[in-house]
Structure 1
Amino acid sequence: MRSVVRAGLLLAAFAGPALAEPDVLAKPEGELVLQVHGAIGRTNLNGAAVFDMAMLKALPKVTLDTSTAVTDGVRRFDGFLMRDLLVHVVARGDTVTATALNDYVIEFDAREFSRYDVVVAYQMDGKPLLPSGKGPLWIVYPRDQHAELQDIRYDYRWVWQLKRLDVE
């Protein structure tokens, strides 16, 4: 049985330039890294959007320097903004539920991804995140840029070994 940790109020919607793009995403050619299910408008496999690492790296790249609750010092994270991914799949929900490889599950208020530059990282300090560590994907908040994000309630939202998102 999985438990869901609630991360806040659940009200938001994503729309943007991706609405003008085709409804079908390209098919992944490499190993599947991330699945996005639920209220999305762009799919590529059985009503879901599935991505290999090359597809994720094709999203606009961002770099974030921040400390974490589980590493020493400030670390450099490379990846993409969660909101960019959600716009890319034409997400139409108020909540996003993230699931990790170890079946850890947490539900986010989708507005957080507009309010903060939440990064889905695939590299830390220039090295790929591996499943034996925090990878292949790690949800990272800009905690050093916003004092309110240094609260333990936000630490639960740093999902490492991210494998799936569900939009409702």
Structure 2
Amino acid sequence: MMRYILLLCLIGLLLVGCASTPDVASEEVYTVVQEGTIAAGDAVPAPQGRPILTLSGNIANTNTETGLAFDQPALEQLRIVEYNVADPYTNGNEQYRGVLLEDVLTVAGAAEDASTLHMVALDGYSVDVPTDVIRWPVMIAMYQNGETIPTTDKGPLRIVFPYGLYSDIDADVHNPMWVWQLESIEVR
């Protein structure tokens, strides 16, 4: 009987240890730089110029005939966060600032049963990203080290995973999901 109890305790500890938790305290993962003025259910202003991000597919909130479009000022009305991350492409520690992917999907009214985000970059690169990545604070970055990210340097938007902050993010799996020059997301 004692062996059975010890075995159950060991299994419980293993299950707790496998949970996706940050390697640092949650409040230390990112800093809220600016609270958003656009939240779930709010209308997003139609772009005044060329949109920098469009969402389509299985979403409830739209501001164009084809989906939801953000220009830079509208995107910056969402909550803005920043964190430092071990960037696999610069081989250094970079500070990124932008909006959480989860916040964008919430404002868009993405369907709860959506399973895939089809992301497309300006250069035509595309990748399917499972929606469960929002369990981490995946960012749509607009700034790198305090500067806007120019198109010539993989901007103006870039998907950033919080590498170095969560041990269960697998670089082999997630590196292809660091979409540079992000242009659109189709919620499927």
**What TM-score does the superposition give when structure 2 sets the normalisation length?**
0.75
Q: Residues 88-137 of structure 1, C-alpha deviation per residue, up to 9 Å, x if partnerless?
A: 01001221110001111111111111x10000000000000111111010
SS in 1 for 2:102: helix
1:105 corresponds to: 126
* In 2, Cα distance between equivalents of 1:132 and 1:52: 19
Question: How far apart, CA to CA, are the structure 2 residues paired with 1:112 and 1:150?
Answer: 11
* 1:127-150 deviation digits (Å, cap 9, x = unpaired): 001111110100000011012325
Identify the residue that residue 46 of structure 2 maps to in structure 1.
27
Matched, 1:56 2:81: no
The equivalent of 1:14 in structure 2 is: none
Q: Match of 1:98, as an amino acid?
A: M
1:165 matched residue in structure 2: 185
1:124 equivalenced with 2:144 (yes/no): yes
For the Cα contact (< 8 Å) 1:30–1:53, is it kept in 2?
no
Residue identity opposite 1:126 in structure 2? G
Take 1:161 and 1:77, find their aligned partners in 2: how far apart are those partners?
A: 15
RMSD of the TM alignment (CA)? 1.3
Q: Per residue, is there more helix in 1 or in 2? A: 2
Q: What corresponds to 1:36 in structure 2?
A: 55
Residue 91 of structure 2 is aligned to residue 66 of structure 1: no
Query: Aligned partner of 1:120: which letter?
Result: I
Identity of aligned residues (%): 28
**C-alpha distance in structure 2 between counterparts of 1:150 and 1:87, whole Å:** 25
Structure 1 alignment gaps of length 5 or more: 1-16
Q: Distance in 2 between matches of 1:66 and 1:30?
A: 31
CA distance in 2, matches of 1:154, 1:47: 29
SS at match of 1:35: strand
Partner of 2:109: 90
TM normalised by structure 1 equals: 0.84
Q: How many positions carry a matched residue from both structures?
A: 148
Given residue 158 of structure 1, which amino acid in structure 2 is its aligned partner? Answer: W
Q: Tell which structure's C-alpha radius of gyration is larger.
A: 2
SS at match of 1:70: coil
Q: In structure 1, what is the Cα distance between the partners aligned to 2:52 and 2:171?
A: 29
Paired residue type of 2:174:
Y
Q: Give the gaps of 5 or more residues in structure 2.
A: 1-38
